[in-house]
């Protein structure tokens, strides 16, 4: 990497998170029980849409304009495609359980 990129990156690194902290927040939902995970539906729009939203600290977060039915359908379709390529059907998970709904 060129020195003119490495220098600013090194200056900004102390402002970021450690890899351990990032891993802790990214893996937290995997180890949450259902009750803890459902806290991600605390916001009214999340409850209505069946979407679990967690923020960058793995705490309940709110929906944004990017959480449209079309976006959720796209993400679910990609998830199902990846599961199929991995040899998993994903058919046992309904779209409701996955926190998505079909785009109209």
Assigned domain for 98 exists: no
Assigned domain for 81 exists: no
Assigned domain for 84 exists: no
Query: Quick one: CA dihedral 78, 71, 98, 54, positive or negative?
Result: positive
Report the predicted TM-score, pTM, of the whole model to 2 decimal places: 0.48
Number of structural domains the chain divides into = 1
Give the structural domain span for 37.
3-67
Tens digit of each residue's pLDDT (9 = 90 or more) over 23-57 = 888 888 888 787 877 776 666 555 666 677 778 88
What DSSP letter does each residue of 14-57 carry, written as one string?
GGS--HHHHHHHHHHHHH--HHHHHGGG-SHHHHHHT---B-TT
Tens digit of each residue's pLDDT (9 = 90 or more) over 49-88 = 667 777 888 887 777 888 888 888 898 889 888 888 888 7
Assigned domain for 94 exists: no
């Amino acid at each position: 990497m060129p020195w003119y990129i490495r220098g600013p990156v090194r200056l900004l690194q102390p402002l970021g998170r450690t890899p351990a902290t990032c891993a802790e927040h990214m893996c937290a939902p995997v180890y949450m029980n259902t009750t803890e995970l459902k806290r991600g539906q605390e916001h009214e729009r999340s409850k209505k849409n069946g979407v679990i939203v967690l923020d960058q600290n793995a705490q309940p977060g709110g929906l944004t304009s990017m959480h449209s039915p079309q976006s959720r359908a796209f993400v679910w379709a990609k998830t199902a495609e990846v599961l199929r390529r991995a040899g998993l059907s994903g058919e046992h998970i309904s779209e409701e359980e996955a926190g998505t709904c079909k785009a109209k």
